[in-house]
Amino acid sequence: MLKEMLSYFISLSFLLYHAIFPCSFPEELLVKSVDHQLYLGKWYFKAAVSHREADIQNFKAVDNVWFTLEKTDNDTLLLTGHVRIGDNCVNQTWTYHVRPERDDMELEGKAERRNLLWSGKWANCPECIIFQEIEPPLKPTDTVDSLDRLMLYARQSDVDSEVVTTFLKNAACHNKLATVQPPEEKEFCT
């Protein structure tokens, strides 16, 4: 009985806290209607968050990452990542399609994944962008998405640490408590 009452009290406290101090939400950038030219070029990976460690596990071995985004024909975007893992550099390219019937980007080979763009203003960084990847539950009986992570990218490699702090704080308000930040101790790959 005491355990149940404590559980109800904690739930009620959580609801009251959010009624007084509500979580802010990022502004979604609808991929089919934004000017893609504004987002082309170089981006530096600064942090990732999720509800689960498994969603961000791949980023834990990374020292630093930077990306280039380029547009090709037929509303196709190429994202090339330059990843530093220890002393090794790994380059990888992903192809995204902008479809008129979708508000997100379609990752080639993963049509079920939603790839959403959010304004960096949520991290108090107009020169940043937040990229979200969501995959549906693996089984119809599952109630939780099989992947849901937010990643913060900045135009500059030396973004103010307060930007990352704000991003992590806002994500924590939405119960995304698993976090990773690349240490950026080594030279960026070319």
In this prediction, residue 165 has a pLDDT band, given cuts at 50, 70 and 90, of very high
**Does position 185 have pLDDT exceeding 90, yes or no?**
yes
Predicted pLDDT at 99: 92
In this prediction, residue 143 has a pLDDT band, given cuts at 50, 70 and 90, of confident
Closest CA to 66 of 178, 153, 132: 153
Count other Cβ atoms within 10 Å, centred on residue 42.
14
Amino acid at 29: L
Q: Across the chain, how many H-helices and E-strands are there? A: 2, 10
Measure the CA–CA gap between 106 and 111, rounded to whole angstroms: 6
Predicted pLDDT at 139: 84
Over residues 79-133, the pLDDT tens digits come to: 999 999 999 999 999 999 999 999 999 999 999 999 999 999 999 999 999 999 9
The domains of the chain, with CATH numbers, are: 28-180 (2.40.128.20)
Name residue, tokens 């030219």: 37
Amino acid at 98: V
Predicted pLDDT at 73: 82
